[in-house]
């Protein structure tokens, strides 16, 4: 009960502070909050980097802030716990997790984080044929989803992360719309080339 009333007082103070601001100051505060969306890109090993670089590159192209780290489910389990439990408190909106072989990283992050997790199966040195990575990430139990992209599909993981942010951020949404127009123009140009 005591906690509830303290929460109410804080909310009242907060609302007075925000809504008493001059219009231009208020706009700055709101815009600052709007730009806070960040994507975390993690991978099980530095050997995943050549694949995961595609996610970093496309998010950079979309002007979305990224945080990149190596978090191994098997070799650094304490870091995995710490990262998964705290990522949402640091302004991160979406997590992209790439791993190969017995790829437990995306699923374990999903088990502890409230954020959307996109899994990238990597065809790594310990993969038999890539199917091991795909199925380890894809076949999650009910209640703990991981949005799994294609084998080595880090670029699509980056685009999907941007689309999730774009669903509530107009600036990012417009970037995605422009990107799709570019894709269409490239296909049309190639088709025109065939007719010459
Ligand atoms: C996985 O094992 C990593 O994500 C990587 O794909 C694979 C091989 O790791 P290294 O032995 O190259 O470090 O956990």
CATH of 37-195, one of 3.40.50.2300, 2.60.40.1120, 3.40.50.11540, 3.40.50.1970: 3.40.50.1970
Rounded average pLDDT over 34-42: 81
CA distances, 23 to each of 13, 18, 34, 139 (Å): 18, 10, 16, 50
The single-letter DSSP state of residue 142 is T
Residue 9 confidence (pLDDT):
40
More confident residue, 84 or 26: 84
Residue 36 confidence (pLDDT):
58
CA gap 45, 69 in Å, rounded: 9
Tokens of 44: 């099980």
Q: Which atom of ligand 1 is nearest to the CA of 75?
A: 14
CA gap 41, 33 in Å, rounded: 21
Tokens of 176: 């995605």
Residue 3 confidence (pLDDT):
46
Taking CA atoms only, the protein residue closest to ligand 1 atom 13 is 45
Does position 134 have pLDDT exceeding 90, yes or no?
yes
Q: Which atom of ligand 1 is nearest to the CA of 73?
A: 14
The C-alpha angle 74, 78, 84, rounded to 5 degrees, equals: 95
Domain residue spans of the chain:
1-34, 37-195
Tokens of 19: 């809504």
For ligand 1, whether the C-beta of 42 sits within 6 Å is: no
């Amino acid at each position: 009960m005591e906690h509830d009333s303290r929460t109410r007082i804080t909310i009242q103070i907060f609302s007075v502070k925000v809504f008493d601001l001059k219009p231009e100051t208020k706009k700055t505060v709101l815009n600052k909050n709007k730009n806070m969306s960040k994507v975390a890109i993690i991978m099980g090993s530095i050997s995943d980097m050549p694949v995961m670089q595609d996610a970093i590159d496309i998010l950079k192209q979309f002007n979305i802030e990224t945080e990149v780290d190596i978090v191994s489910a098997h070799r650094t389990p304490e870091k995995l716990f710490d990262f998964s439990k705290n990522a949402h408190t640091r302004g991160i909106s979406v997590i992209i997790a790439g791993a190969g072989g017995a790829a437990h990283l995306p699923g374990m992050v999903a088990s502890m984080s409230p954020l959307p997790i996109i899994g990238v199966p990597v065809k790594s040195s310990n993969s038999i044929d890539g199917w091991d990575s795909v199925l380890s990430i894809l076949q999650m139990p009910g209640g703990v989803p991981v949005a799994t992209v294609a084998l080595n599909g880090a670029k699509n993981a980056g685009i999907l992360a941007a689309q999730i942010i774009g669903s509530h951020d107009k600036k990012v949404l417009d970037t995605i719309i422009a990107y799709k127009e570019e894709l269409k123009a490239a296909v049309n140009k190639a088709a025109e080339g065939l007719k010459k």
